[in-house]
Structure 1
Amino acid sequence: MKKFALFLISILVIGVLAACGSSETSGKEEKKVLKMATSADYPPFEYIDTAKGSEIIGFDIDLAKAIGKELGYEIEVQDMDFTGLIPALQANKADLVLAGMTPTEERKKSVDFSDVYYTAKHMIVTKKGSGIKSVEDLEGKTVGVQLASIQEGKAEEIAETVNIKVENRNRIPELIQEMKAGRFDAAIIEDTVAKGYFKNDKELEGTVIEDGETEEAGSAIAFPKDSKYAEEFNKVLNEMKENGELEKLVLKWFGGEE
């Protein structure tokens, strides 16, 4: 009887341990990693502070991680050129994109977007002393824009009425470099991003485009078409707008300056 009782106890102990093991395993499986694509050349939205390390930081990174935490997802950030972001979603190489991306009608044909989470304006950026203070002052000038950005579309729109040569580059630092080298007379950059460059480079200045026709460049989260994550991310995003959490991130990264 004693041997039989010991046998039964052994079976019960093994069963309990097996159950615990299954629970821990299933718990790990529930922790899903989502791949977020971005273009880390767009401070303060996403960038690398080389003085502090190689980690990608910024407003979009904090926003993605805050939403991911609320939903139980771990966010894995990968850097690529801006032009590769939508193709990455289409090829299922990324689950979402946060990159200060504007939800244009053209882009909506390829991907789905959340509601807009931040709004900014277009700015003409030049070297100090250029004399360029308006769209009209760009007459006969070479203007740089980031490839595939909303600013590229704005420059092409301006070119319909003002004689400018539009040049594009993959990343914002390249636009700044070309200006400082004298190859570009100006660049059109989102004002929030431009202000970040002004803090570190006193040779630069900028003017917000105020022509009555300029649409604000709102930023939204992009997802593959019919993504199951779009609705739940949008729900948490709007909760963050209502409870003040989004405003806290805005104040952290933009200092409350719109």
Structure 2
Amino acid sequence: MTPVAIDLNADLGEGFGRWRLTEDEQLLSVVTSANVACGFHAGDPATMRRVCAWAAERGVRIGAQVSYRDLAGFGRRSMDVPPDELAAEVAYQIGALQVFARAAGAEVAYVKPHGALYNRIVHDDEQAEAVVQGVRLAGGRLPVLGLPGSRAHAAAGRAGLPVVTEAFGDRAYTARGTLVPRGEDGAVITDPAAVVERSVRLATSGTVDSLDGRPVAVRARSLCLHGDTRGAVELARRVREALEAAGVRVEAFV
């Protein structure tokens, strides 16, 4: 049997100015793909440049983590942005990161929306189309990372863009296979042992228990490890070690 392969991605560069949230350098020794904040929900030019350089040194793939323009709300507030404006803002964020990726001898390899935008384009066709148009405007055929079955993936497929399915070991799922909103009880899994167990199960069987206890199919090529959780580096190491012990091949999807 061919070994299962999974990519480990983390949201990095989520600071601004003197404020830093994620342990970028340490996490880049564990993950295979880095979702780099592009300045709209977090991140600034110096941070973007630094994270791209570290990622390139370690052979970690660089992804543009695009979001609504919402520094104050960390990109977790849904916004009704006109489609043409949203497409332009997505392209702008990708282009900004591409400058620093190329300066480091690498390229932006994929796009992953963040926070409220990520969840909105699971079900909103108009916003999903706008994000895809922004990716196309930025040039190339960048893969779009997101939830299986999302409207964003449907739009990307119609536009001829590759799609990559993603799962979360530390987030609760509904019975429909979507993420439980962060404002609800139990939305974030905080027990490290549970996160490790769920991550291995997602990678090996493509299933996870929903918040109400029912098994849900979530077949994904990439597994997200949130960089802003307490003890994120040690948890990421534990997840990777458990995956490899279970015979899972940990490697980037591009």
State whether TM-score is above 0.5.
Answer: no
- The answer to which structure has the higher helix fraction is 1
- The answer to which structure has the higher strand fraction is 1
Q: Give TM-score, length-normalised by structure 1.
A: 0.30
Asked which structure has the greater CA Rg, the reply is 1
